[in-house]
Amino acid sequence: MSTTLQQATPARLHHLHIVSAEPRQLADFYRKQLDLVDVTSPDGRIVLTGPGRAVEISDSLSGRQPCSCFVVDTEADLAALRQRLVARNVTCEPADSVLYRPGAFMIRDPQGRCVSFGLTAGSPSRDGLPARLQHTVFQTTELERVVAFYTETVGYAISDEVVSDDGKTMVVFLRSDDEHHSLAFFQGSQNVWDHHCYETNEWNDIRDWGDRFARAEVPIFFGPGRHGPGDNLFFMVTDPDGNRLEFSAELVRVGVGDTPGVWPHNERTLNSWGRAWVRT
């Protein structure tokens, strides 16, 4: 599957729209643990922002769908991306988040996942531990089809692949700017959200986040360790809905045109320090 591609207009993961059966409980977790505060939204969803991170939470009865929400730098960038997608017969629908300026749009990938693009509406500066929302990851039953959509249609680039002994691609890491990945997909037996990640500044920030979750009696379920692809330090915890949050440091940057790396499908690739969480 490896190919060298230049990504289209650079985009950064800005916020997530999460759907929950217990939205108030989930929002309370993100307020307390991630230093987030409320932003008024006219449509009933809970909108929370903080230093370098934001989340929207809707009740599962609302009919709204989860979404990964990216931003670009300029109106011209947004127009160019939309033009690229329309030229490839992708339907672009309005994205109505208060975290976007007017003109944002959303698309669906071949399995129905929502991805949106827009310009940030901006938010007041907040104090809190450093951790910028940086990437989100999914498990998929159709890895090749989904990756082809994001590379050939949207314009993301492959940074690394994880390949099994029989030559089957098991994981693909995709970048939308020069950071190693802002999106990734694992081959799995179901189509589910895998995790999302917050990039910190250094190892000491990983320590501080670990101490925070320890005080809140939120246990680490994976890590601490170091990934092979991306070479980043990390650990993972879960929120009250069971969604997995990763905290990372030292994620590598990749040059435009760099050849994708290929890694063996084993525990050391996922965690060079020890035991790994292997998806099935």
Determine contact, residues 213/134, Cβ cutoff 8 Å: no
Instruction: For residues 114 and 161, state if they share a domain.
Output: no
14 closest CA partner among 95, 87, 83, 68: 68
Instruction: For residues 55 and 139, state if they share a domain.
Output: no
Among 93, 118, 143, the domain-final residue is 118
Q: Please indicate, yes or no, if residue 37 is contained in any of the structural domains.
A: yes
Mean pLDDT of 131-142: 98
Determine contact, residues 161/261, Cβ cutoff 8 Å: yes
Q: For residue 5, is pLDDT > 50?
A: no
Instruction: For residues 152 and 105, state if they share a domain.
Output: no
**CA end-to-end span of the chain:** 20
Mean pLDDT of 25-54: 96
Using one digit for the tens of pLDDT, what is the confidence trace for 159-185? 999 999 999 999 999 999 999 999 999
Instruction: Note the pLDDT of residue 124.
Output: 67
Q: Please indicate, yes or no, if residue 248 is contained in any of the structural domains.
A: yes
Instruction: Note the pLDDT of residue 8.
Output: 63
Looking at residue 41, its amino acid is: S
Instruction: For residues 109 and 136, state if they share a domain.
Output: no
Q: Please indicate, yes or no, if residue 108 is contained in any of the structural domains.
A: yes
Question: What are the residue ranges of helices labelled H in the chain?
Answer: 23-34, 75-87, 143-148, 203-215, 267-270
Instruction: For residues 141 and 241, state if they share a domain.
Output: yes
Q: Please indicate, yes or no, if residue 39 is contained in any of the structural domains.
A: yes
Q: Please indicate, yes or no, if residue 186 is contained in any of the structural domains.
A: yes
The first and second tokens of residue 225, run together, are 């360790």
pLDDT above 90 covers what percent of the chain? 90
Instruction: Note the pLDDT of residue 280.
Output: 75
Determine contact, residues 12/177, Cβ cutoff 8 Å: yes
Instruction: Note the pLDDT of residue 150.
Output: 97
Please name the residues in contact with 267: beta carbons below 8 A apart, sequence gap of 6 or more: 274, 275, 276, 278
Instruction: For residues 137 and 251, state if they share a domain.
Output: yes
Whichever domain contains 186, its CATH number is: 3.10.180.10
Q: Please indicate, yes or no, if residue 30 is contained in any of the structural domains.
A: yes
pTM of the predicted protein model:
0.95
Instruction: For residues 258 and 145, state if they share a domain.
Output: yes
The residue assigned the tokens 């996942």 is 113
Mapped onto helix, strand or coil, the DSSP state of residue 172 is strand
Using one digit for the tens of pLDDT, what is the confidence trace for 45-102? 999 999 999 999 999 999 999 999 999 999 999 999 999 999 999 999 999 999 999 9
Instruction: For residues 143 and 77, state if they share a domain.
Output: no
Q: Please indicate, yes or no, if residue 279 is contained in any of the structural domains.
A: no
Mean pLDDT of 107-129: 92
Nearest-angstrom CA–CA distance, 76 and 194: 33
Among 92, 118, 144, the domain-final residue is 118
Instruction: For residues 185 and 149, state if they share a domain.
Output: yes
Distances (CA, A) of 184 to 23, 36, 49, 171, 230: 26, 25, 24, 7, 11
Instruction: For residues 46 and 172, state if they share a domain.
Output: no
Q: Please indicate, yes or no, if residue 40 is contained in any of the structural domains.
A: yes
Report the domain count for the chain. 2
Among 64, 90, 118, the domain-final residue is 118
Instruction: Note the pLDDT of residue 4.
Output: 44
Using one digit for the tens of pLDDT, what is the confidence trace for 249-261? 999 999 888 899 9
Instruction: For residues 106 and 159, state if they share a domain.
Output: no
Residue ranges making up the domain that contains 172 = 132-270
The first and second tokens of residue 147, run together, are 């990756």
Instruction: For residues 69 and 161, state if they share a domain.
Output: no
19 closest CA partner among 55, 65, 54, 53: 65
Q: For residue 3, is pLDDT > 90?
A: no
